[in-house]
């Protein structure tokens, strides 16, 4: 600025006019160049003066977390992070969990999120955490971020039958394919393959049960072979266990009892 100042003090001459024009252009360029960094410059001056200028800003958002429902208590599942452009206490960031405190906790200093209780997808398959980041200025500045947690299924439920014992009766002259029992039903609280059930009949070489078959998907029991080929006076009932097995790895299963009486023509007479 010394050169320009001494030039301006000269008498107005052609040279002086040129210099003034150059000075004006130069200053204009300087102003333009400073526009981009003007904000930062102001911020730095404010920071050095002790003002709490910046609000903490979370990085890497939006957040999304997936966790298996059988994760042990105390496991780390995610870490949030926020930055603050101030110095000292004005820029020191701490974290607070505002929502989701029953099952989760956040480390005040690191932003590390851990489980603090057992999770159960069958109770809730999704939880929205709200984490606040605040600095230690006076007054402090803060911001809140959402951390959606999706709880993924584990095969932790065995099938449950609607009854302990299923009973039915069928005439010994029934044709092959005729339904002998259609009430078998089991429910599995898991989802996907962990809840896909297949049914099977298990018996101790019961000859009547040999003539029946169960549909593995529907659980419907039908006549597979003619029940009374030899015209027996009485046919003992089919007493078996029905097993429902899910498609989990490893699979889980449950058992109920099945009793199917065979009514012969002699029983009716």
- Which spans of this chain sit near Ca ion (rule: CB under 5 A)? 52, 54, 84, 86, 90, 120-122, 135, 141, 153, 155-157, 188, 190, 194, 246
For Ca ion, the closer of residues 186 and 235 by Cβ is 186
> Is residue 58 within 8 Å of residue 80, measured between CB atoms?
yes
For Ca ion, the closer of residues 134 and 222 by Cβ is 134
DSSP 3-state of 35: helix
Kindly state the DSSP code that residue 54 receives in the 8-state scheme.
P
For Ca ion, the closer of residues 57 and 206 by Cβ is 57
Quick one: 207 exposed, middle or buried, by C-beta within 10 A (0-12, 13-18, 19+)? Answer: exposed
Quick one: 224 exposed, middle or buried, by C-beta within 10 A (0-12, 13-18, 19+)? Answer: middle
Shortest distance, position 177 Cβ to Ca ion, whole Å: 31
For Ca ion, the closer of residues 121 and 222 by Cβ is 121
Alpha helix segments (H runs only) across 111-249:
207-210
Round to whole Å and give the CA distance between 149 and 171. 56
For Ca ion, the closer of residues 172 and 188 by Cβ is 188
Shortest distance, position 53 Cβ to Ca ion, whole Å: 7
Shortest distance, position 124 Cβ to Ca ion, whole Å: 10
Phi, psi dihedrals of residue 180, rounded to the nearest 5°: -100, -25
Shortest distance, position 90 Cβ to Ca ion, whole Å: 4
Shortest distance, position 157 Cβ to Ca ion, whole Å: 5
| Residue whose pair of structure tokens reads 């040279």 in the numeric block | 15
Task: List 7's β-bridge partners, or say none.
Answer: none
> Which two tokens mark 108?
């005040």
């Amino acid at each position: 600025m010394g050169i320009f100042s001494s030039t301006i003090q000269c008498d107005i001459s052609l040279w002086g006019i040129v210099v003034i024009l150059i000075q004006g252009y130069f200053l204009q360029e300087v102003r333009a160049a400073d526009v981009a960094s003007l904000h930062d410059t102001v911020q730095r001056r404010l920071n050095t003066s002790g003002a709490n200028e910046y609000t903490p800003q979370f990085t890497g958002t939006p957040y999304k977390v997936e966790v298996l429902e059988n994760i042990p208590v105390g496991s780390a599942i995610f870490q949030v992070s926020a930055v603050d452009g101030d110095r000292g206490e004005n820029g020191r960031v701490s974290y607070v969990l505002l929502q989701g405190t029953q099952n989760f906790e956040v480390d005040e200093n690191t932003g590390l999120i851990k489980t603090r209780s057992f999770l159960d997808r069958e109770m809730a398959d999704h939880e929205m955490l709200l984490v606040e980041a605040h600095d230690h200025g006076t007054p402090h500045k803060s911001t809140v971020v959402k951390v959606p947690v999706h709880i993924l299924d584990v095969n932790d439920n065995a099938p449950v039958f609607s009854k302990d014992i299923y009973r039915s009766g069928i005439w010994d002259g029934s044709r092959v394919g005729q339904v002998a029992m259609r009430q078998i039903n089991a429910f599995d609280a898991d989802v996907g393959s962990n809840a896909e059930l297949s049914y099977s009949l298990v018996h101790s070489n019961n000859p009547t049960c040999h003539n029946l078959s169960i549909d593995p998907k529907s659980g419907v029991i039908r006549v597979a072979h003619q029940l009374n080929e030899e015209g027996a006076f009485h046919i003992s009932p089919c007493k078996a266990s029905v097993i429902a097995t899910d498609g989990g790895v490893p699979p889980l299963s449950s058992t109920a009892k099945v009793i199917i009486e065979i009514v012969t023509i002699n029983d009716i007479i």
